[in-house]
Amino acid sequence: MVNELIHKYCQGNEPLEQILLHHSTDVARRALKIAKAHPELKADETLLWEAAMLHDIGIVRVDAPSIYCYGSEPYIRHGILGAEILRGEGLPLHARIAERHTGTGLTAFEIERQNLPLPHQDFTPESIEEQIICYADKFYSKTRLDIEKTPEQAIRSLEKFGIDGIAVFKAWMARFE
| Domain boundaries along the sequence of the chain | 2-176
Query: Quick one: pLDDT at residue 51?
Result: 98
Residue 133 near residue 127, CB atoms below 8 Å = no
Distances (CA, A) of 7 to 1, 4, 116: 10, 5, 29
Residue 6 near residue 57, CB atoms below 8 Å = yes
Query: Quick one: pLDDT at residue 159?
Result: 85
Query: Quick one: pLDDT at residue 132?
Result: 98
Q: Quote the CA–CA distance of 25 and 48 in Å, as a whole number.
A: 11
| Mean local confidence (pLDDT), 29-56 | 98
Reported as a pLDDT band with limits 50, 70 and 90, residue 164 is: confident
Query: Quick one: pLDDT at residue 27?
Result: 98
Reported as a pLDDT band with limits 50, 70 and 90, residue 61 is: very high
Is pTM beyond 0.85 here?
Answer: yes
Q: What CATH class has 2-176?
A: mainly alpha
Taking 90 as the threshold, does the pLDDT of residue 160 lie above it?
no
Query: Quick one: pLDDT at residue 117?
Result: 97
Paired sense of beta strands 69-70 and 63-64, if any: antiparallel
Helix segments in the chain, DSSP class H: 2-10, 14-37, 45-54, 78-88, 92-99, 108-113, 128-137, 151-158, 163-176
Taking 90 as the threshold, does the pLDDT of residue 36 lie above it?
yes
Taking 80 as the threshold, does the pLDDT of residue 137 lie above it?
yes
76 φ, ψ to 5°?
A: -60, -20
149 φ, ψ to 5°?
A: -70, 150
| Mean local confidence (pLDDT), 144-153 | 95
Taking 80 as the threshold, does the pLDDT of residue 162 lie above it?
no
> Own/partner pairs for 109-117, CB < 8 Å, 24+ apart?
110/161, 110/162, 110/164, 116/76, 117/74, 117/76, 117/77
Distance of CA 11 to the CA centre of its chain: 21
Residue 34 near residue 176, CB atoms below 8 Å = yes
pLDDT, averaged across the chain: 96
